Structure 1
Amino acid sequence: MTSFFGSVFWLLVTLGVLVTFHEFGHYWVARRCGVKVLRFSVGFGNAIWKRIGRDGTEYQIAAIPLGGYVKMLDAREGEVDPALRDQEFTSKPVWKRIAIVAAGPGFNLIFTLAAFWLMFMLGRPDVAPIVTAAPHSIAAEAGIQPGDRIISIDDHAVATWSDSLDTLAYALLGRVPLPVTVRGNDGRSRQLVLPLNELPPGQSVDKYMDKLGLDLNPVPPIVATVLPGKPAAEGGMRGGDRIVSVNGEPVADYVQFQQLVPKLAATSPQLHLVVDRGGTKLPLTITARHESLDGQPVSWVIGVQGMPREPAIIQYGPWRAMGAALQTTWDGTTRTFNMIGQMLSGKASTNNLSGVIGIAQVANASASMGLPWFLNFLAMVSLSLAILNLLPIPVLDGGHLLYYVVELIKGSPVSEQVMIVGQYIGLALLFTLMGLAFFNDIHRTFLS
């Protein structure tokens, strides 16, 4: 239940911040273009709070938090007081109407840049892009070895696992061979190609990642601490020892070692280990004990602790942070448009769409990771809102901009009948998109 309420809370925070910023863009530019704003609403439906400002605008928070709107004085919605006709929306030049409509997505882009800039200033904690590959997986067959560090993907340098994951996720949508440069434990770089074209069509990125078989940042099988008085200490193990094998089974990473100890000790507590100590292979015999260690459930233990994952943090000064924010925004924009194009062409599955439930889950997860990660999440959602609203779909900002471009070309406004038909088409498309995203959320959350 904590996760549920946390997801709901951070979803409301996310929508509240981004919707307010988007609608404030419309409001601010409308006021400066001389248009009277009747209502500024965050949310739809009945108001749960409202007040009238000194400018005569009604400000409200409504019960349904999935959006918002700015209601302007508009002759298409009823009679306009002759004294206020110079403040009416449709009486304004078309370039002013374009500016008012474009201001919402524009302010989302401004928010995206600001959030990324602050994130890079604060520093986003991450882990190094060190990987291993599951046996018989696509990554393993491509040549990924335990402890490989990803240097670049598709000629784009990566410094953290998150950088790698973002690039991989978009490449998986297209299912084309992906060049990767890695550096092994021996310090040598290797050029590999992940044959993503072998993946079956029509699946989500999550399923593709499972088939790819990359394990993020495995912990090396190195003992950091040997607890005094425990079996490992009694058997001669020391901090810094790299575990090579247990009972003849080779060990690739510390997680595998943690799984092998109880599995093998259940058959015979006496374990035969080989460790690498300063380049010399040493055999050790350690007798595991069936007990609780550090308050954990009773299990077969030998009394050692592994090394932490290698940390990586991206943090810049103000000027470089702005450059990184601009580049990240540009990369996110091009990737989003590429994804839309791939979905429309059928190359990428619509299973990758996420709705309110998915956004709520990611909001809660990113908030639990700290402010820089939540800022990263807000920036990406804000960018998605900007791009979505600019699509030429009636009822969205992009649809209105399309009408005004047509008006500029033909010299007169689009007919009311065309706008009504467009409204119905736009609503149908929008509800279809929302329904598909909601279905995907339900399937991922409850049926997968």
Structure 2
Amino acid sequence: MNPFFGSVFWLLVTLGVLVTFHEFGHFWVARRCGVKVLRFSVGFGKAIWKRTARDGTEYQVAMIPLGGYVKMLDAREGDVDPTLRDQEFTGKPVWQRIAIVAAGPGFNLIFTLAAFWAMFMLGRPDAAPVVTAAPHSMAAEAGIRPGDRVLSVGGHRVTTWTGAMDDLVDALLGREALTMQVRSVDGTEHPVTLPLDRLPAGQDVGQYLDTLGLSLAPAAPIVGTVMPGMPAAKAGMQGGDRIVSVNGVAIDDYVQFQKLIPEQAAKSPRLAVVVQRGGTAVPLTVVAEQSSLDGQPTRWVIGVESMPRESAIQHYGPLKALGASFDTTWSSAAQTFRMIGKMLSGEASTKNLSGVIGIAQVANQSASMGPAWFLNFLGMVSLSLCILNLLPIPLLDGGHLLYYLIELVKGSPVSERTMIAGQYVGLALLFTMMGLAFYNDLHRILLS
């Protein structure tokens, strides 16, 4: 699918699922508390589909898919039929109003747990945390060498590249020195301290990662598959052979090998390749040929594929997956709150905020990586919606909860004047955040 249309499609799927689940939380608890629901809407603006149920509730899908709402019978919005007064929202006890408002974020949290549980049940494919460092980068200067395996980050044991990156990103936001335990290619283990405190303030995570220069190690130069009838097969190359050199140039990884073949074949198709097989160096003469594979432009090939990179699939049974779901939800929520706190204190840049464009791009990327990764993405966005909605900002669920908590303390509802003033403040804060996130998205696109 075209990246643009793919991003739009998966964004609509994401928002459709998560907004519906969030609003269903409000709807379900409101009905259980005896409040009459007038409209359940996914999206804002003009309805593109609607129907009215026998109980009078109107269900609709609206044109602007950036949210939704549940409209309840509310005396603040007009006169209420005396026969329906017992079903009116503001007439309910404050604890019921709190439950109704909190149900939206609560259902987002339930969805997060369910998505992570399903993800671990399916098995999330990941790479082992075998890394390399860009030349002259912070990671290289700290002592990271090609092929090092990360064992722990900041004292937290990691078994996957994603797990290592989650802990690294969290540390990058705080810009504090971080110690990792690594195992070198020769099997020795030793600590490496990354001087993250030297990073300049005010940059986003992407810029910090570029400065750090840590990445997954390329695949080793080991032949996985030799295609029958192709030059490598004719020369006697076998699966499992380790490429040592091509025309005298030493090979360190498979990416280098892939780049070197067309460069050397353009000079002469006859290539002197040395492979290591069973501890013995075996010289081979491979005559490259020009070919177009899978509709790609014609290029020099010899007909081999690499050995797959070491994987680390997180695949658990039902009970262990449930425990992993709770652990992932807890750690992700803690990381999100730390990020919010650091942005408010100025320790982390607001450039780390992403808007709808960024979400759309990640949605498309996650969907292309398979159902487990898309479930991971849905869980993370659902958790973010839960936390965002609980922030004490008027117009959000957290703002309403703040009003009701004040009502519990003072014994009477917040004045209408205060609520109206709060709405203006909430609008200003929300538009500021949305504008900043949109600007960040455009800035990343223009610089990419």
Bin for the TM-score computed over the shorter chain: over 0.9
Q: Residue 120 of structure 2 aligns to a residue in which SS?
A: helix
Structure 1 runs not aligned, ≥5 long:
none
Instruction: Name the CA distance, whole Å, in 2 between partners of 1:362 and 1:319.
Output: 29
Task: State the partner residue of 2:40.
Answer: 40
Residue 86 of structure 1: aligned partner: 86
Once superposed, what is the RMSD of the aligned Cα atoms? 2.1
* Residue 404 of structure 1 pairs with residue 404 of structure 2: yes
Q: Could you tell me how far apart the structure 1 residues matched to 2:89 and 2:106 are?
A: 19
2:428 equivalent to 1:442: no
Q: CA deviation at 1:22?
A: 0.5
Which residue of 2 is the match for residue 338 of structure 1?
A: 338
**1:265 Cα offset (Å):** 4.3
Residue 89 of structure 1, CA deviation: 1.1
> What's the CA shift string for 1:399-437, capped at 9, x where partnerless?
011111111111111111111111001100000000111
The CA deviation at 1:351 is 1.3
Amino acid at match of 1:169: V
Secondary structure of 1:438's counterpart equals helix
CA shift in 2, pair 1:236/1:58, >3 Å: closer
Structure 1 residues 210 and 290, CA gap change in structure 2 (3 angstroms):
farther
Within 2, Cα distance between the matches of 1:175 and 1:67? 35
- On the 8 A contact 1:128/1:217 being kept in 2, the answer is no
1:304 to partner: Cα distance: 3.2
Any conservation in 1 of the 2:271–2:288 contact (CA below 8 Å)?
no
Aligned residue pair count: 447
Partner of 1:100: 100
Partner of 1:365: 365
What secondary structure sits across from 1:150 in the alignment? strand
Does residue 310 of structure 2 align to residue 310 of structure 1?
yes
What is the distance in 2 between the residues matched to 1:245 and 1:340?
A: 50
2:204 corresponds in structure 1 to 204
Amino acid at match of 1:427: L
Give distance in 2, aligned partners of 1:232 and 1:57.
Answer: 69
Contact 1:181 1:190 in 2 (8 A): yes
1:161 aligned residue = 161
Aligned mates of 1:14, 1:173 — CA distance in 2: 27
* Offset, 1:229: 6.1
CA distance in 2, matches of 1:270, 1:140: 37
Q: Deviations over 1:137-168 (max 9, x none)?
A: 11212222222222221122222222222222
Corresponding residue of 1:140: 140
Question: Which amino acid letter does the alignment assign opposite residue 309 of structure 1?
Answer: R
Kindly indicate whether the alpha-carbon contact (under 8 Å) linking 1:120 and 1:316 is maintained by their aligned counterparts in 2. yes
* Structure 2 unaligned blocks of 5 or more: none
Greater alpha carbon shift after TM alignment, 218-227 vs 265-274: 265-274
Give, in angstroms, the shift of residue 230 of structure 1: 5.4
TM-score computed with the length of structure 1 as normaliser: 0.94
* d(CA) in 2 for partners of 1:16, 1:227: 45
TM-fit CA distance, 1:46: 1.1
1:268/1:203 CA distance change after superposition, 3 Å: farther
- How far the C-alpha of 1:247 sits from its partner, in A, is 5.0
Partner of 1:419: 419
**Moved segments of 4+, more than 6 Å:** none
Q: Does the CA-based 8 Å contact 1:235-1:284 persist in structure 2?
A: no
Residue by residue, what CA displacement relative to the aligned partner does 1:60-109 show, whole Å, maximum 9, x if unpaired?
A: 11111100111111111111122222111111111111111101000000
Asked whether 1:71 is paired with 2:71, we answer yes
Matching of residue 289 in structure 1 with residue 288 in structure 2: yes
Distance 1:423 1:246, change over 3 A: same
- In 2, distance between residues paired with 1:227 and 1:53? 62
Q: Deviations over 1:255-313 (max 9, x none)?
A: 12212333344456565555433334x37364653512645533344443321112221
Change over 3 Å in CA distance of 1:70–1:391 after alignment to 2 = same
Map 1:150-229; keep pairs closer than 5 Å: 150-227=150-227
Cα shift at 1:54: 1.9
Q: Which residue of 2 aligns with 1:4?
A: 4
In structure 2, what is the Cα distance between the partners aligned to 1:64 and 1:114?
27
Task: Confirm or deny: 8 A CA contact 2:220 2:254 kept in the other structure.
Answer: yes
